[in-house]
Structure 1
Amino acid sequence: MKKTLKILLIEDDTIEVMKFIKVIETLGEKHQIIESKNGEEAMDILKITKQLPDIIVLDLNMPKVNGVEFLSSLKEDEILKYIPAIVLTTSYNPKDITECYKIGIAGYILKPLKYEDYVSRIKKVLEYWCENVLIKA
């Protein structure tokens, strides 16, 4: 039986959110998506929710609290720091990549230009995390 993931998607671009959800539906997956438009809103969601997400997928370039700031706060929290955070971004800036890995991300994925490549990457990420044993906080 395939595991269903609870995914916190932190993305301010509505088109990107729709694309991510469409991929999940196209793949026939039943993963639960919790949407957040920025790091501040995401942290609020994490602080009040009773059942934490299995993974977090986030963009770096967002208003209010950007991805790096969010990741720093996440990894400083004694409960939330165990949630795997996967960066899904257009930034190929070596400084961003290094900073995210220093903070403790679980993966850094570039958003490809071609939709087929995007589908392939998201499918691989979801398959990987469905096979992992995750900590339930």
Structure 2
Amino acid sequence: MRTDQRANVMLIDDDEDDYYLLNQAFGNYSKQVTLSHQQTVTELLESLLHLDSLPDLILLDFNIPPSNALDVLAVLKQDSRTNMIPVIVWSGSLEKGQITQCYQAGANSVLLKSPSLSGLVHIVRQLCEYWFEASQLPS
């Protein structure tokens, strides 16, 4: 990342352990990336309504009670404020049909969670290099 660049990633995941590990992985990549965390769909929607600046990237757990990522994507992609935020769905395991459904619902990418911190650090590095260095994000 450029030295003047900052990136805000919002995680929507009900698992505190996943947040803790991801926060470490993003911190290992760069101190310029801030990870915020919402545990429920309600928290996500409330926070998006009240934020002055929207996240640069949303990392969305597929199984987010009481619904799933498909329902959340439907809301995010229909709202003019949030429809251009890249959304990456991630899960411990997904069937091929679920992966297809995620893309049909507007996901920009689908990732599988790594069971190890070193694997997670590797995934986060690739994710950040692509979304924050190679890609041009909307402002």
Q: TM-score, normalised on structure 1?
A: 0.91
Give the superposition deviation at 1:71.
Answer: 0.8
| CA RMSD across the alignment | 1.4
Alignment partners' CA distance in 2, 1:54 and 1:114: 25
Unaligned runs of at least 5 residues, structure 2:
none
Query: Which SS does the other structure have where 1:82 is aligned?
Result: coil
1:23 is matched with which residue? 25
Q: Distance in 2 between matches of 1:42 and 1:93?
A: 25
Distance 1:27 1:55 in 2: 15
Verify the 8 A CA contact 2:26 2:35 in the aligned structure 1. no
Task: Verify the 8 A CA contact 2:88 2:108 in the aligned structure 1.
Answer: yes
Answer yes or no: is 1:133 the counterpart of 2:136: yes
Question: Match for residue 16 of structure 2?
Answer: 14
Matching of residues 93-132 of structure 1 within 5 Å: 93-131=95-133, 132=135
Which residue of structure 1 lines up, in the alignment, with residue 90 of structure 2? Answer: 88
Q: Provide the residue aligned with 1:40 in structure 2.
A: 42
Q: Give distance in 1, aligned partners of 2:40 and 2:97.
A: 21
Distance in 1 (CA, whole Å) between partners of 2:67 and 2:53 is 23
Matched AA of 1:39: V
Per the normalisation by structure 2, the TM-score is: 0.90
Q: Is the aligned partner of 1:74 residue 2:84?
A: no
- Change in Cα spacing, 1:107 to 1:56, as seen in structure 2 (3 Å) is same
3-state SS in 1 of match to 2:89? strand
Q: For 2:83, what is the secondary structure of its paired residue?
A: helix
8 Å contact 2:25–2:117 — kept in the other structure? Answer: no
Pick which of 80-89 and 127-136 moved more.
127-136
Q: Deviations over 1:96-130 (max 9, x none)?
A: 10111001111100012233222111110011111
